[in-house]
A and B are shown apart, each in its own frame.
Chain A
């Protein structure tokens, strides 16, 4: 595949990936710090290039329901927003999960709660990985740390979403959304033809041919016994994801005394902190999480038996750290460090936190 070099913001990379990955439709509503996604799409006019539909909806509520509609007829559809807008979308997300519809939802997280700030944050971890909407369901959550990953995870997102018939969330943050970096883009993947759609999404409500009964896309089942069975099916799917789809990057973990567990922007800051620590003679590794659900429980359990301690670094008051503790089952000290409300921790702060909370701990 021919690779073309571009310099793009993370948000623009999402939009570029949408066009190049054969996305059929994007439905969104402006909110800082992710408005460049739709701005880039509107400027590129993909309806002229690939036939992709782009629409500015009247609200995030409407955007996510447009996504639900498009997904229900088997199309590759997506939306993006930032924290307050994602809160509004929770209704749609649980319906998507309940009706088992594939879709991509990008959250370029900003500081909360409420209207909060417009600066980067990672305080939507719980919302993304523990439901957010009602009912027992899981989003598949990918955490990009670079502009390239913002782009690549859209392609990966379609694969996962259609393989499991499950909504995929790309959990980014204001820093990754706004930073401009080198990006290698590939050739355009054509949108699915009607025949391909019927093959790849045979369950969809794309119009009833004469040779089958009608399809119904719904999350409603009035018979509780049947609904329990449906829940069993969903849970089995989530367990399969945990078995097969865990992704992470382990940097210098093999002989590390200490581990930073982090994702997205925080992982990059931790990487710098790791370099600073190396100058001071510390053996630090980083476990950078790529999938937040499924969570890399096994890897953390394995590392927890080998190291002297782990520091969960996240721009929140301590959310991911809970999962790290659960996975490590207290086999080693696990602490949290993070700034929040839109403040980004510095590498120096992260290293100091490791020293104070873990290394010098008695």
Chain B
């Protein structure tokens, strides 16, 4: 199993940390992982993206241009990465602010209204974990047990009190995700 993922959205949406938690969880589950961020001035409030690879084998290139899954959190990222999903792959997006939804028919498309849900629940902080939950429902590349371990490892100890809330958000995401188009 090798899963090559891009997560893309605005800076401040928790894109990088979602990727980190996913990578940590994979590592805890004894998989090979890599996490490769975009970096530089674009991190300052513009778009942010990170490629995460989770694999049973040694990872060759951590730099990838074709993805098994694209997790998309704004229109710019959708425009940029829709075409980079491998045929038969997955595109998961949050419809908030999306004016031109994905059009491809050779991939599986899911949506998750995580922005709206997080606002309803007053849980803006764990918005990204709702999205992560949605992804894990579609592609269970790591199990829940290891998500918890990944959170323990990636969050500083002073934030460990927030782990139950994060796990609950993952559950919420699992329930929230909806298929738009599947093959």
Interface residues, chain A, CB within 8 Å of chain B?
5, 7, 32-33, 118-120, 174-175, 178-182, 265, 268-269, 271-272, 275, 344, 346-348
- Judge if B99 is at the interface, Cβ distance under 8 Å: no
The answer for the CA separation of A15 and B62 in the assembled complex, in Å, is 21
**Chain A residue contacts of B27, Cβ below 8 A:** 5, 7, 182
Q: With A7-B33, A7-B154, A180-B20 in contact, is A32–B62 under 8 Å at CB?
A: no
**Chain B residue contacts of A119, Cβ below 8 A:** 40
B40/A33 in contact, CB under 8 A:
yes
**Chain B residue contacts of A265, Cβ below 8 A:** 61, 63
Q: 5 shortest A-B CB distances, which residue pairs?
A: A271-B60, A180-B35, A272-B60, A272-B61, A269-B61
**Chain B residue contacts of A275, Cβ below 8 A:** 60
Interface residues, chain B, CB within 8 Å of chain A?
20, 23-24, 27, 32-37, 39-41, 59-63, 65, 153-154
A268/B61 in contact, CB under 8 A:
yes
> Can you sample 30 A-B contacts with CB below 8 Å?
A7-B23, A7-B24, A7-B27, A7-B35, A7-B153, A32-B39, A118-B39, A118-B41, A119-B40, A120-B63, A174-B39, A175-B62, A178-B36, A178-B37, A180-B34, A181-B33, A181-B35, A181-B62, A182-B33, A265-B63, A268-B60, A268-B62, A268-B63, A269-B61, A269-B63, A272-B60, A344-B63, A346-B65, A347-B60, A347-B61
**Chain A residue contacts of B62, Cβ below 8 A:** 175, 179, 181, 268
**Chain A residue contacts of B41, Cβ below 8 A:** 118
Number of A-B contacts (CB under 8 A): 63
A175/B36 in contact, CB under 8 A:
yes
The A interface, classified by DSSP as helix, strand, loop or mixed, is mixed
**Chain B residue contacts of A181, Cβ below 8 A:** 33-35, 59, 62
The answer for the CA separation of A347 and B34 in the assembled complex, in Å, is 17
**Chain A residue contacts of B60, Cβ below 8 A:** 268-269, 271-272, 275, 347
**Chain B residue contacts of A271, Cβ below 8 A:** 60-61
A180/B23 in contact, CB under 8 A:
yes
Q: With A268-B60, A347-B61 in contact, is A179–B24 under 8 Å at CB?
A: no
The B interface, classified by DSSP as helix, strand, loop or mixed, is mixed
User: What residue in chain B is nearest A178 (Cβ atoms)?
Assistant: B39
**Chain B residue contacts of A120, Cβ below 8 A:** 63
B34 to chain A, nearest CB (A): 5
Given contacts A32-B40, A180-B20, 20 further A-B contacts (CB under 8 A): A5-B27, A7-B20, A7-B23, A7-B33, A7-B153, A175-B62, A178-B36, A178-B39, A179-B36, A179-B62, A180-B36, A181-B35, A181-B59, A181-B62, A265-B61, A268-B61, A269-B60, A269-B63, A272-B60, A347-B61
**Chain A residue contacts of B36, Cβ below 8 A:** 175, 178-180
**Chain A residue contacts of B153, Cβ below 8 A:** 7
Of B27, B37, B41, B60, chain A has the most CB atoms within 10 Å of the CB of B60
Q: With A7-B154, A268-B62, A269-B63 in contact, is A179–B39 under 8 Å at CB?
A: no
The answer for the CA separation of A268 and B153 in the assembled complex, in Å, is 27
A63 to chain B, nearest CB (A): 22
**Chain A residue contacts of B40, Cβ below 8 A:** 32-33, 118-119
**Chain A residue contacts of B34, Cβ below 8 A:** 179-181
A48 to chain B, nearest CB (A): 18
The answer for the CA separation of A18 and B177 in the assembled complex, in Å, is 45
User: What residue in chain A is nearest B51 (Cβ atoms)?
Assistant: A179
User: What residue in chain B is nearest A32 (Cβ atoms)?
Assistant: B40
The answer for the CA separation of A80 and B135 in the assembled complex, in Å, is 38
Of B23, B33, B36, B63, chain A has the most CB atoms within 10 Å of the CB of B63
**Chain B residue contacts of A178, Cβ below 8 A:** 36-37, 39
A172 to chain B, nearest CB (A): 13
The answer for the CA separation of A32 and B43 in the assembled complex, in Å, is 12
B129 to chain A, nearest CB (A): 18
**Chain A residue contacts of B59, Cβ below 8 A:** 181, 268
Q: With A7-B153, A175-B63 in contact, is A182–B39 under 8 Å at CB?
A: no
User: What residue in chain A is nearest B50 (Cβ atoms)?
Assistant: A180
**Chain A residue contacts of B23, Cβ below 8 A:** 7, 180
The answer for the CA separation of A344 and B36 in the assembled complex, in Å, is 13
A182/B65 in contact, CB under 8 A:
no
**Chain B residue contacts of A179, Cβ below 8 A:** 34-36, 62-63
**Chain A residue contacts of B65, Cβ below 8 A:** 346, 348
Of B39, B41, B59, B61, chain A has the most CB atoms within 10 Å of the CB of B61
**Chain A residue contacts of B61, Cβ below 8 A:** 265, 268-269, 271-272, 347
The answer for the CA separation of A5 and B20 in the assembled complex, in Å, is 15
**Chain B residue contacts of A174, Cβ below 8 A:** 39
